[in-house]
């Protein structure tokens, strides 16, 4: 099977996932990879879909048009570019956790430090928690860093970058025993 990339964004409301996945089932598409979230009342999804012969990006987007109209979604379907999976050679999975007072530049500082150390962001999630008078910023990043002592040094550099902004940061190697 070939693969398609599907993204949909709109105001959150019950039934979006059921409606989109129903179209996929009706066309014989298999949802292989996904991320879905509600961001300040906006629903966002990105899917990787295995599509059978005869179901191309245009046909899937056309089939999703009634769902998009019903829920007020912006839906985009594109051919998926296949890439080799897994972590780069010589890299290991790490988790970065950041929390503190909300301020501009937290994501940039952490992502820049990761990139400068040869790291790659695999997944990133941020949330504001607490009351409007004292919001707490929480960020979790799954990343790959070089293996061994280079990764430990990179983790320390990421912690320093976050600490310089006045937020707490912990970086740890993902370990099956810990997870």
pLDDT in tens, 13-28: 999 999 999 999 999 9
CB 74 within 8 A of CB 8: yes
Question: How far, CA to CA in Å, does 47 sit from each of 17, 32, 171?
Answer: 11, 8, 28
CB 102 within 8 A of CB 137: yes
In 3-state terms, what secondary structure has residue 178? coil
Q: What is the mean pLDDT of each run of 10 residues along the chain (179 residues)?
A: 95 97 97 93 96 96 98 96 70 94 93 94 91 88 93 94 94 75
Torsion angles phi and psi, residue 109, rounded to 5: -65, -45
Domains of the chain: 2-79 (3.30.70.260), 91-173 (3.30.70.260)
């Amino acid at each position: 099977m070939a693969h398609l990339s599907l993204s949909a964004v709109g105001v959150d409301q019950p039934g979006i996932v059921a409606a989109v996945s129903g179209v996929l089932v009706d066309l014989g598409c298999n949802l292989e990879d996904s991320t879905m979230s509600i961001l300040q009342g906006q629903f966002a999804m990105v899917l990787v879909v295995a599509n059978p012969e005869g179901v191309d990006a245009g046909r899937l987007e056309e089939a999703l048009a009634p769902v998009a109209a019903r829920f007020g979604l912006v839906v985009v379907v594109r051919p998926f570019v296949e890439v080799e999976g897994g972590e780069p050679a010589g890299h290991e999975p790490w988790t970065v956790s950041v929390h503190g007072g909300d301020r501009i530049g937290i994501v940039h500082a952490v992502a820049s430090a990761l990139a400068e150390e040869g790291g790659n962001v695999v997944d990133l999630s941020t949330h504001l928690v607490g009351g409007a008078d004292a919001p707490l910023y929480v960020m979790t990043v799954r990343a790959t860093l070089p293996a061994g002592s280079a990764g430990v040094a990179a983790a320390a550099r990421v912690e320093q970058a976050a600490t310089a902004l006045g937020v707490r940061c912990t970086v740890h190697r993902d370990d099956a025993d810990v997870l």
